[in-house]
């Protein structure tokens, strides 16, 4: 008969953090069924990791600017050897995303932790979540079409904006945090994406908001029309998406209007025959400010 003392605090911590092996998990879980003292010990180890993470993420806003030696503004002067570096970087992005989707605990890959973690202070175990599998979407799969179909089963097909919002609702900080904003890769990607959209997009414009780090662009699709998603991560770790699609028929209002999609705030506008949609878990007025900025720039 195992008692609460069979397991060390370290083992229980590993269990709560999803780092315990399967055998240990099974042992702890079966012991929990019989042993109230063990449950009490787990309770004594509970922390609200989500709250800690949120607080520390807000701290990112207080970070000073990077030192001058870290030249983020470098662009244009591409020599042959720099071009080679960018090729390697581009390959790294692609291969790292493939690897990330195959194995959440792989060593290779772009910057950031190799898997998402949850430590919500709940007694039940958390397993490593393969959140980085979503990074595989950056390879440009027409996920949106497939997802729209799945969600719309048995009902009216969703509008493009509503489908985009549904997709964006899946985004978390971990989706974009590992994406390195390497300028040469971004420029190449943006050229490809602009060409698909039929409208020029400039990386410098996308990087013009201090609060939002421009990460990447994807070509998605909706009813045979290219739907572009530009992904940003705010300084406090909130994923923001700017979606652009050629307007079908008559365009909406030129002015920025705020909207809500199932609890997600958004801002919309139209310009030159294209519809724009800015999505993110920020308050409506903040999104409106970003939207006005992008509407002027793009």
Partner 1 sequence: MRDRSPAQTDVRHGLADVFPRLWRYCLTLTANRADADDLAQAACLRAIERAHLFEPGTHLDRWVFTIAHRIWLNELRAARLRRGGGLAPIEDVDLIDEKADTEMNFSARELLRKVLRLPEAQRVVVLLVYVEGYAYKEAAAIIGIPIGTVMSRLAAARKKLAAQDSEQASKRA
By CB under 8 A, name the binding residues for partner 1: 8-10, 12-14, 16-17, 19, 43-49, 51-67, 69-72, 74, 81-82, 84-85, 88-89, 91-92, 95-96, 105, 108-117, 119, 128, 174, 180-183, 213, 235-236
Q: How far apart are CA 32 and CA 39, in angstroms?
A: 6
The C-alpha angle with vertex 6 and arms to 46 and 38, in degrees rounded to 5, equals 35
Q: How far apart are CA 83 and CA 87, in angstroms?
A: 6
How many CB atoms lie under 10 A from the CB of residue 12? 19
In total, the chain counts a number of residues equal to 298
Q: How far apart are CA 209 and CA 21, in angstroms?
A: 44
Smallest separation, CB 45 to partner 1 (Å):
4
Q: Are strands 225-234 and 239-246 parallel, antiparallel or unpaired?
A: antiparallel
Sign of the Cα torsion 9, 10, 11, 17 reads positive
Buried b (16+ CB within 10 A) or exposed e, 129-150: ebbbbbbbbbeeeebbbebbee
Smallest separation, CB 278 to partner 1 (Å):
19
Q: How far apart are CA 63 and CA 79, in angstroms?
A: 32
Nearest to 113 by CA among 104, 122, 103, 124: 104
Closest to partner 1 by CB, 119 vs 246, is 119
Smallest separation, CB 247 to partner 1 (Å):
34
Smallest separation, CB 237 to partner 1 (Å):
9
Closest to partner 1 by CB, 65 vs 263, is 65
Q: How far apart are CA 130 and CA 114, in angstroms?
A: 9
Smallest separation, CB 134 to partner 1 (Å):
15
Closest to partner 1 by CB, 271 vs 293, is 293
Closest to partner 1 by CB, 1 vs 70, is 70
Q: If you search the block for the tokens 């315990």, which residue do you land on? A: 20
Residues paired with 242 in a beta bridge: 230, 278
Smallest separation, CB 263 to partner 1 (Å):
19
Closest to partner 1 by CB, 117 vs 130, is 117
59 φ/ψ angles, rounded to the nearest 5 degrees: -60, -25
Q: Assess contact for 161 and 277: CB atoms under 8 A.
A: yes
- H or E stretch covering 149: helix 143-151
Smallest separation, CB 36 to partner 1 (Å):
17
Closest to partner 1 by CB, 111 vs 153, is 111
Smallest separation, CB 85 to partner 1 (Å):
4
Closest to partner 1 by CB, 145 vs 211, is 211
Closest to partner 1 by CB, 29 vs 283, is 283
Q: Which two tokens stand for residue 245?
A: 């699609």
């Amino acid at each position: 008969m195992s008692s609460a003392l069979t397991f060390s605090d370290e083992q229980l911590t590993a269990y709560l953090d999803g780092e315990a092996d399967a055998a240990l998990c099974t042992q702890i879980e079966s012991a929990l069924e019989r042993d109230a003292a063990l449950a009490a010990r787990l309770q004594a180890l509970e922390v609200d990791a989500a709250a800690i993470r949120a607080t520390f993420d807000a701290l990112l806003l207080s970070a000073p600017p990077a030192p001058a030696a870290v030249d983020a503004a470098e662009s244009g002067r591409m020599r042959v050897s720099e071009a080679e570096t960018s090729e390697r970087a581009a390959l790294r992005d692609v291969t790292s995303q493939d690897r990330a989707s195959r194995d959440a605990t792989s060593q290779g890959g772009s910057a950031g932790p190799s898997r998402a973690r949850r430590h919500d202070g709940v007694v039940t175990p958390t397993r490593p979540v393969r959140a980085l599998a979503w990074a595989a979407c950056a390879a440009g799969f027409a996920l949106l079409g497939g997802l729209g179909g799945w969600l719309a089963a048995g009902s009216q097909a969703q509008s493009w904006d509503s489908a985009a919002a549904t997709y964006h609702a899946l985004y978390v900080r971990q989706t974009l945090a590992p994406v390195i904003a390497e300028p040469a890769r971004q420029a190449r990607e943006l050229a490809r994406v602009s060409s698909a959209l039929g409208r020029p997009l400039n990386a410098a414009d996308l990087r013009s908001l201090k609060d939002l780090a421009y990460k990447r662009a994807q070509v998605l699709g909706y009813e045979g029309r290219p739907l572009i998603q530009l992904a940003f991560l705010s300084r406090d770790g909130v994923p923001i998406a700017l979606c652009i699609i050629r307007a079908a028929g008559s365009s909406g209002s030129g002015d920025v209007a705020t909207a809500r999609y199932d609890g997600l705030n958004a801002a919309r506008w139209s310009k030159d025959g294209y519809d724009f949609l800015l999505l993110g878990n920020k308050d409506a007025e903040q999104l409106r400010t970003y939207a006005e900025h992008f509407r002027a720039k793009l």
